[in-house]
Structure 1
Amino acid sequence: MAEQHLTKSELAIMEVMWEQEEALTASEIIKASGDKEWKNSSIHLMVNALLEKGFLEVAGFKKTTKNYARTFKPTMTKEKYFVRKVMGNTPVAEKKKIYMQLLKEVDEIETLDTIKEEIYARKKELENR
């Protein structure tokens, strides 16, 4: 997926989607949005934009009172989105600096041990290509 920009409203919808454990219909997105007062037509426009940008995909259909509605789910995790947003077109040398700075922010040995295990697993994965 090419680097894509999300509007504030699209990001708000994605936040709702990332918080949910299951695929949602447009109406369910509105209900789960809490204080946002989106209209049905606005949600449909934003969901279609997110589909087009590749952030959402159709997961299936759900029976509503009179008909069926499409359900949607995110194509990536929240963490992956933000990593791509930050790292997008960053040169390799700059990425190394970002990784190092992120590691300096970690204060728990247990977290560092987990990161170390992930680094070893990723390294093995790359070596076996």
Structure 2
Amino acid sequence: MELTAEIAAYRAGTGDPGRLVGEFRRAVLLVPLADDSAGGLMSAVSGGIRWLYAFTDEEAFARFVEARGEAAREWPYLAILGARLVDAVVPEVDGPAGIAVNVADEGGSMLFPPVAGIVPDGCAVDLRAVGDGEAA
């Protein structure tokens, strides 16, 4: 099953969290580049978490652009595996970071928060080192 189908199943209450995360990790996602001079990835901060925007396909990305009222300009993006996004990019973000997939799709969006099982343990906000590295 592809990521959008897993998201729909999960939102309907019939999905499996493990399958959802697995499809997310295998999916090639489109991540818009920030339009500032820093040259990073487009994101927003909410609740103390930096959410990187990612889209499952060009149509979902286009809905986001339309919702922002910015369809007239060019939108450069990076195509990246979900696994690479969480395993290599999230650890480079200053502070907790998660992935917001298809944010303009009211019934098809999904947040992948910075928790164990989604991001590397060292970036997971629900884990903290205790003694010999056990989770609290």
TM-score (norm 1): 0.29
Higher helix share: 1
TM-score (norm 2): 0.28
Pick the structure with greater CA Rg. 1
